Amino acid sequence: MKLLLVVACALVDVDNRILIAQRPEGKSLAGLWEFPGGKVDPGESPEDALIRELKEELGVETRTACLAPLTFASHAYPEFHLLMPLYVCRRWSGIPESREGQALKWVRAKALRDYPMPPADEPLIAPLIELL
Ligand code: C5P
């Protein structure tokens, strides 16, 4: 089975709220809420991929030193096995805005369960609640 590496990030603001994004129509898992991020390209480090995706999707800039690994998801989808490290980022520049038509929401860790997420993302909630 193919192994797919996708990096994800919990952007955490000064009030300890986390940014989630809703996958837009036309994408797989449309309508579900996820932590921003995306696929690691060949030859790219996970951190560089995340920095690139945060810029593309949200228009924010951050640095490797501001990305703290928290946990990871390992989930078997029918077509591939997803390995997804989750980083926590509290320092970035710019105000996150929707650059790809995705809805955005700042939510408290304990409220994350109110937003339907892809099955791979759900196990990431508990470590965030514990952290925050
Ligand atoms: O975002 P993208 O479509 O490139 O991600 C590839 C696949 O990884 C998705 O189709 C989805 O199955 C999975 N994924 C996920 N949770 C995320 C991001 C991606 O399960 N937060």
Domains of the chain: 2-131 (3.90.79.10)
Amino acid identity, position 66: C
State pLDDT tens for residues 122-132.
999 999 999 99
Q: In angstroms, what is the span from residue 21 Cα to ligand 1's centroid?
A: 12
Q: Which residue's alpha carbon is nearest to atom 1 within ligand 1?
A: 38
Q: Check if the interface score ipTM surpasses 0.85.
A: yes
Q: How confident is the model at residue 58 (pLDDT cuts 50, 70, 90)?
A: very high
